[in-house]
Structure 1
Amino acid sequence: MLLFQNGKIQVRKLAEKDKPLLTKWLSDSAVLKFYEGRDYPFDIDKVNRNFYGDENHVFRCIVLFEGKEIGYIQFYLIEEELKATYGYSEGNIFGIDQFIGETGYWNQGIGTLLVKSMVNFLIEDRKADYVVMDPQAKNGRALRCYEKCGFHKVKWLPKHELHEGEYQDCWLMEYKK
């Protein structure tokens, strides 16, 4: 089921047929360097547990560019406890996480188009007041991409994410409608 299209980018709901794609992408050390960690490669069982569970509040999607599956994106409504942790008291706040799994599509502006398109979808379709992300502070390429998309660093999150055996500092980044 197609959620939206913006030019050459399409985002559709994750399907059963996507399990081999996720397994391929999430066993690639280049992808894992930035998403999940190289010490945490996925096999089909781990893909099933992590992407096909019953977390109904997470909307999992496949990203297509010119009709080819190239990546993954998910979005979710931020729940009250996490809102408080992040310092929000009100508003319709969505979080997003994404990666381009086909590394040949990196550094071409596709991630920027994807993030801008998802933000627009969430604001227009889901009536988001804010869209937030919490990338690792050391991921300069991602931080630059998100800033190009209109996100701003709003809160330092020390030792926020376990990645490759160590807790990493992250930035809470926000796009405000």
Structure 2
Amino acid sequence: MKKHSIGLRKLMEEDKYRLLKWLTDPQVLRFYEGRDNPFTMGRVEASFFDGNLEETRCIVIHEDTPIGYIQYYPIGMEERKIYGYNDSEDAVFGMDQFIGEPEYWDRGIGTELVILTIERVIREKQASRIVLDPQTWNERAIHCYEKCGFQKVKLLPEREWHEGEYRDCWLMEYVVDGE
């Protein structure tokens, strides 16, 4: 799938080396998993190649260059409860992403990526809502998501362990038109 300068392709076995490079880079880890939590090859394999068929896992391509990772998935029962969707029949999908090549940051590529993925999840999965839960201090990511139509709907106190402490996150939601 391609739109403008961004494309997505399914994650392949040989991408494990690229993921390892990105997930040992302190600049990337500052925003994804924490600088005190670099990945090993075993952890990359366990986290990204575990055979989970519920998750759609993709490499982000910018003008033929792999620059990042994105995944989307139906949120599970535990998250439905935490997020407040346990009584809802809505098709709620979560997404997680990062640009692993810092030289591509602050160029509008993240916005393109999120918009492309929203369109894809709605079309392919018939999602009625898409959710994200960025840490509250990650203003660049939050601004990107708001530009793409996400809204903050709930503060999630001490939601994620990051660099030695539990951090607050925002539940952000994109509601498909007409829902």
TM-score (norm 2): 0.94
Question: Equivalent residue for 2:89?
Answer: 90
- Whether 1:79 aligns to 2:59 is no
Residue aligned with 1:138, SS: coil
The separation in 2 between residues aligned to 1:57 and 1:32, in whole angstroms, is: 25
- TM-aligned CA deviation for residue 7 of structure 1: 1.6
- TM-aligned CA deviation for residue 125 of structure 1: 1.7
| Superposition misfits of 4+ residues, deviation over 4 angstroms | none
Question: Equivalent residue for 2:41?
Answer: 44
Amino acid of the structure 1 residue aligned with 2:59? I
Residue aligned with 1:137, SS: coil
Matches within 5 A, 1:1-177: 4-88=1-85, 89-177=88-176
- TM-aligned CA deviation for residue 82 of structure 1: 1.7
Residue aligned with 1:170, SS: strand
- TM-aligned CA deviation for residue 124 of structure 1: 1.5
In structure 1, the gaps of 5 or more residues are none
The separation in 1 between residues aligned to 2:19 and 2:145, in whole angstroms, is: 23
Amino acid of the structure 1 residue aligned with 2:19? L
The separation in 2 between residues aligned to 1:107 and 1:45, in whole angstroms, is: 31
Residue aligned with 1:36, SS: coil
Residue aligned with 2:160, SS: strand
Residues 83-106 of structure 1 deviation map (CA, whole Å, 9 limit, x = unaligned): 122112220010000000000000
State the aligned residue count.
174
In structure 2, the gaps of 5 or more residues are none
Deviates more, 1:79-88 or 1:135-144: 79-88
Identical amino acids, percent of aligned pairs: 53
- TM-aligned CA deviation for residue 127 of structure 1: 0.6
Residue aligned with 2:152, SS: strand
Residues 125-171 of structure 1 deviation map (CA, whole Å, 9 limit, x = unaligned): 21110000000000000000000000000000000001112110000
- TM-aligned CA deviation for residue 70 of structure 1: 0.1
Residue aligned with 1:53, SS: coil
